[in-house]
Chain A
Amino acid sequence: MIAAPPDEVWSVVAAPERQAEWFPGMVSSVVEETGEGTFRTIHTASGAFIREEVLGVDHGARRFEYRIIGPFRMEHHLGRITVVPDPFGSLVIYEQELEPKALTYVLDGAIADALNGLRDLVVEGRTSRSWIEPTTATGIGGST
């Protein structure tokens, strides 16, 4: 729930280049248009990058859809953010479908932080852009 009108929340969500302003741990979000579509490259605070394809920005339904295309080998991914009017202001629904499952928990936890970051940006004008430059970082971590 975000105590702001849906159009105000949607104006932030609908701008793929602005995601690093409200997604904690993202350093940059760079959008490029090619003849094959709209693509976005996310750089994270750990030094990793995530390549995504923007599948659709539906202003009528206030729905943003994208999929991760690299560098991880995902058999399937679909991310969907929908902004719905609510008596409190706006309800933001952030959904993920993915296979294989290893990233499930990582994205789940990060998205919970991101929804708080979106609220902070829209309501308080406070950005969550990462303070760590990725020059010294290596990747995403890992190992069991």
Chain B
Amino acid sequence: MNLAEIIDVLKLTVLTEKKDFSAIQPSGGYAADLLSCVMTGAPHNGIWLTLQAHGNIVAVAALLELSAVIITENAMPDQATINKANMEDVTLLSTAETTFTMAGKLWELGLRAV
């Protein structure tokens, strides 16, 4: 399951610049809103589900070279955060769904915790 298929099937909105998402293979999934936990818990190259839209999510995603961050419940990062994500080559995705629903759907698609 590559990131392009995930974006398509889960109807995610891409907030950052488009790229060849079909070339990105997420290693696994992780869900938390405490960034200190994410820094130590999320898998390298994984997909991270969170309600947090603060600019610090970009640094955490870049640190772990995450495949993407899915921001749930329509929480919206500001433009400065989106710009920073583009600079750091971090993919930010958005959905109106809850983190629970997103995690369930990703699991159904075959994504697992690492």
Q: Do A and B bind each other?
A: no
* Partner-A contacts on B (CB < 8 A): none
* Partner-B contacts on A (CB < 8 A): none
